Amino acid sequence: MSATLTLSRPNRKLRRQIEAVVLVLLACASGVAVLTTIGIVLSVVYESLRFFSEVPVWKFLFGTEWAPTAEPGAFGIIPLLGGTLLITLIAILVAGPLGLLSAVYLAEYANLKARRIIKPVLELLAGIPTVVLGFFAALTVAPFIRRAGEAFGLSVASESALAAGLVMGMMIVPLISSLSDDIINAVPQSLRDGSYALGATQSETIKKVVLPAALPGIVSAFILATSRAIGETMIVVMAAGLAANLTFNPLAAVTTVTVQIAALLVGDQEFDSAKTLSAFALGLILFIITLALNVVALRVVRKYREAYE
């Protein structure tokens, strides 16, 4: 006993030193996440600056022609943004109603047993790799839409924006429904009780009380879903086209920012051509757009939380 007591003094000193080292290591680990962000920003910005030294920024941002492999190449991002917007819009038009209505049913109507079955099924859909959804979009949905369109006498591109958008929409349904489900559940029961006491039915309560109360959260769920759709790569790489068309016809083939990044950087590359560097400029635009959407979504959620706590 006395031996351990005499030993404990230097031990305690050693322990303190070791703990100080461990603490520094732990802090460093959390710094890796910050380093990753810095790494992303630096690498993308650095290569973009090299690109902008060859192609003027205004030509990149406002050009309406995208032909990186042509001689001389045209690097106008407008048709890519147009294509991204078109496919994202289709995806949100599909996922918005489906996701929101599923969430309302899960949160307000479904009993515990139904929830226990439906939620894992939605999670299953969320867990399917996007390359699988891309395969399905390209080989099953796109030919189906093409045949259906021809039956009505419409000309449908074999890589139509509609096929990619539809499947992407289905991919986003679980995201919107789980976020909205949480938000609807967070609406205080007292608001519903108040509405019932005034004689409103359940659906009237949902439409006139619950959803308006949950609106900020739902809006942020939609913003996050939009950001996810804009950044999604594999579905569009496999099911959307490569040709940059500036059109809002969902039956035509369009291309997106992510498709072009993938197309430009897959295969052999030289790191001094404007063609390869333009992929980083596209990456920068993609990063800025998705980051802005996420920041807005988080801010909306935070404001909403303050209202009930």
Write out the binding residues for other proteins, residues 54-113 only, by CB under 8 A.
97-102, 104-106, 108-109
> Is-contact 261 212, C-beta < 8 A?
no
Tokens, residue 291: 């980051």
Nearer to other proteins, 41 or 191 (CB): 41
Burial letters for 262-293: b for 16+ Cβ neighbours within 10 Å, e otherwise?
bebeeeeeeeeebbbbbbbbbbbbbbebbeeb
Nearer to other proteins, 134 or 216 (CB): 134
Which residues ranging from 290 to 309 are in contact with other proteins (CB under 8 A)? 290-291, 294-295, 298
> Quick count: other Cβ atoms within 10 Å of Cβ 186?
14
* Stretch 167-206: interaction string toward other proteins, x if CB under 8 A: ---x--xx--x-----------------------xxxx-x
Nearer to other proteins, 86 or 229 (CB): 229
Nearer to other proteins, 211 or 249 (CB): 211
CA angle 147–137–284, rounded 5-degree value: 130
Q: Does 138 bind other proteins (CB under 8 A)?
A: yes
* Stretch 32-51: interaction string toward other proteins, x if CB under 8 A: xxx-xx-xx--xx-xx----
Q: Give the DSSP H or E segment for 121.
A: helix 112-127
Report in angstroms how near the CB of residue 244 gets to other proteins at its nearest: 18
Out of 5, 6, 58, 271, the only residue in the binding site for other proteins (CB under 8 A) is 271
Counting Cβ atoms within 10 Å, is residue 211 exposed (0-12), middle (13-18) or buried (19+)? middle
> What is the spatial distance between Cα 174 and Cα 158, in angstroms, rounded to a whole number?
27
Report in angstroms how near the CB of residue 153 gets to other proteins at its nearest: 26
